[in-house]
A and B are shown apart, each in its own frame.
Chain A
Amino acid sequence: MISVPGQIRIPYLWAAGPVAGRFLAGLREKELWGIRCSNCSKVICPPEARCPLCDGACREWIRVGPLGTLVTWSGLLGIIRLDGADTGLVHHVRGKLEPGLRLEPVFADQRRGHIQDILYFRPWNA
């Protein structure tokens, strides 16, 4: 049987838009921002223009984190609920993990307004 190999490689440049763009610009300044839903009042982080919980309009920017709580994980990726937020951020996690663990972000030295301006989250020791 014959199989024909191939690969598709296409570069893109995605506009982040005003909501994700503001979040990503915040990372450049080592700031974490959520956005409050005008309908259910939940703070969504990472922020979305429409609330993923109730579809309300999200308008009010709220500073969240920098510490957060580990919700769940698999391998080296976890979901972190930042302090002050009601939803979770997916990111790299390091260290000995357990549910409810308190985590802090480790930022890159060179930041460019990108989700990987955070290198990973690690256990926080008070």
Chain B
Amino acid sequence: MERVAIVAWAYRQFERTDLSYSELVYEVVKDLPEWQTVVSASSDFHDGRTISNMAIQDVVRAPVTSESKVSMDGAFAMLYGWMRVASGEFDTCLVVAHSKLSEGDPRAIARAAWNPLYLRPLGLDDHTVLGMQARACGFPEEALAEAAALSLGVRVEEVLASPVVADPLRRLMIAPDSDGAAAVLLASEAVARRFSRTPVWIRGLGVCYDAHSPGHLDLRESRALRSAARQAIDRAGIREFDVAEVHDLSAAQKLLWMRELGLRRCNESGGALRWQPGFATGLIRVIEVAQRLAAGGGRTGLAHGMTGPLGQAQCVWVLST
């Protein structure tokens, strides 16, 4: 199996952008050098058209290479991109993800994403299940406010003064709806140094899913995240991380994911609590870790991505210089 490195990347995040989503994707791929194949991540629901990757195939040069879409967070698209390079079939692979939550109705889309027999008719949106999870975890309000304040760079009082959106969560304890795109160039060991003097190596990865329905999950924990982390950490043989980023849709998730991963600190970037551009969010966690490592900000890193408002699908990457 080939060793695989992250050799280039770009991302853009906005509260809202007037760029169309193919132009937004172009913004993050235009300065990357070259690639032989593409794995993309996007959501038909968020893009408002079926086979949402059709709209970006020209800007990722798919007509002259090959492209496949993952309808999950970009951190999972990277799994398939990694396979393409690790297998020896390709030397380079572009992994790209985009979402513009400003264009549709994120709450309505979340309500429509559930099982239509048991859940969809109830009007259960993503913020409501985040509130259910936060209440089940039982974190004190002060701890939630501190976790959010640290990510947002604001005072705890400001978090506590924001209105309750999904009890017990306040507005600043919930990841905001954002627009954004992210791209990562993966390369085999044979060519990695052609693109970067400081390649960041993929040392371990793990993926695990849990049940779909909130009622079938134990919201006080995430056995899927623990399993994904164990797979990634055991493959890498790395247990201490200089840099870590978790995909946190709420302040309670930040605390829960940190506990399940055994992290004492994470998300210097602000994490998803700062920007949450849908399916680009997890891939941006990978990039935040990679760019800090490449800049000499540490030797080892852990990046976490997930899909589903409760983290029903979990993905962990262990990286090192």
Q: Are A74 and B131 in contact (CB under 8 A)?
A: yes
Interchain CB contact (< 8 A) of B121 among A12, A78, A116: A116
CA distance A46 to B116 in the complex (A): 13
User: Which of A59-67, A83-91, A102-110 makes up part of the contact surface?
Assistant: A83-91
Q: Does A24 contact B (CB under 8 A)?
A: yes
Interchain CB contact (< 8 A) of B211 among A53, A71, A114: A53
Q: Does A40 contact B (CB under 8 A)?
A: no
Q: Are A46 and B132 in contact (CB under 8 A)?
A: no
User: Chain B contacts of A14 at CB under 8 A?
Assistant: 116-117
Q: Does B147 contact A (CB under 8 A)?
A: no
> Which one of A3, A12, A115 has the greatest number of beta carbons of chain B within 10 Å?
A115
Measured CB to CB, the residues of A under 8 A from B are 1, 3, 6, 8, 12, 14, 16, 20, 24, 44, 46, 48, 52-53, 71-75, 77-80, 87-92, 99, 114-116
What is the interface residue range for chain B against chain A? Answer: 20 to 34
Q: Are B121 and A88 in contact (CB under 8 A)?
A: no
Interchain CB contact (< 8 A) of B166 among A46, A75, A88: A75
- Given known A-B contacts A14-B116, A72-B219, A74-B167, A114 and B121 have beta carbons under 8 A apart: yes
Output the nearest chain A residue to B19 by Cβ-Cβ distance. A1
* Interface pairs (7), CB distance under 8 Å: A52-B212, A72-B133, A73-B132, A75-B166, A79-B132, A80-B215, A115-B117
Q: What's the minimum C-beta distance from A55 to chain B, rounded to whole angstroms? A: 10
Q: Are B118 and A20 in contact (CB under 8 A)?
A: yes
